[in-house]
Amino acid sequence: MSSLSMITAAAYCHHTGRAFTPPRKDFSYIENFLLMIGHVDESTRTPNPRYVDVLERLWAVVADHEIPCSTAALLQTASALPDVISSLISAFSAGYGPLHGGAIDVAYKNIEEIGTVDDVPEKLARVKAGKERLYGYGHRIYRVTDPRFTYISDILGELTDEVSKDPLLQVAFALDRAAAEDEYFISRNLRPNADLFAAFAYKSL
């Protein structure tokens, strides 16, 4: 896991043109990850403790979710006794898909495509007509509001200043309100899932 963190951080720094900072022995896993990618406070040159706490909780919400598709893919591949990296690649490939971990990114892009609060009704109309999907709503297991959604919403409440800088958040709020009152979604037990607001939480950091 530590090697994976360093490889990911190094790749990120290379991609963004940032200087890679070596990890510290006295830092936690997440503190070191933020340090390595240069996400630090300008005055202390160390990760903001508030952001470390938020990221720890966000990762716990995703990790503590039994055996989803990516975990099953890793275990299936590992059962053939390949090397560890090959098993992890299977998990990453599954996790990248838009119906799994990639859904966070797709949900955010979906909201970007809506554009403004005034365009929300048209989006819902296209979804109900079967012309488009509404990422961030519905779940294969949950027929109630995804408990992770509630948890992430609470985290967003703690990041008011950071989140308020993203104008698309108001579009997401309007989308959530409209869908929650629409009989189409109510009758089908379609409730918001973790993907709807997760991207805003990550982006705010």
Q: Which residues form the catalytic set? A: 139, 195
Query: Which neighbouring-strand residues pair with 137?
Result: 192
DSSP state of 66: S
Rg (CA), the chain: 19
Judge contact between 6 and 27, C-beta under 8 A: no
Helix (H, G, I), strand (E, B) or coil at 35: helix
Helix (H, G, I), strand (E, B) or coil at 64: coil
Cα separation values, 193 from 44, 72, 187, Å: 36, 21, 17
Q: Tell me, what amino acid is at 126?
A: R
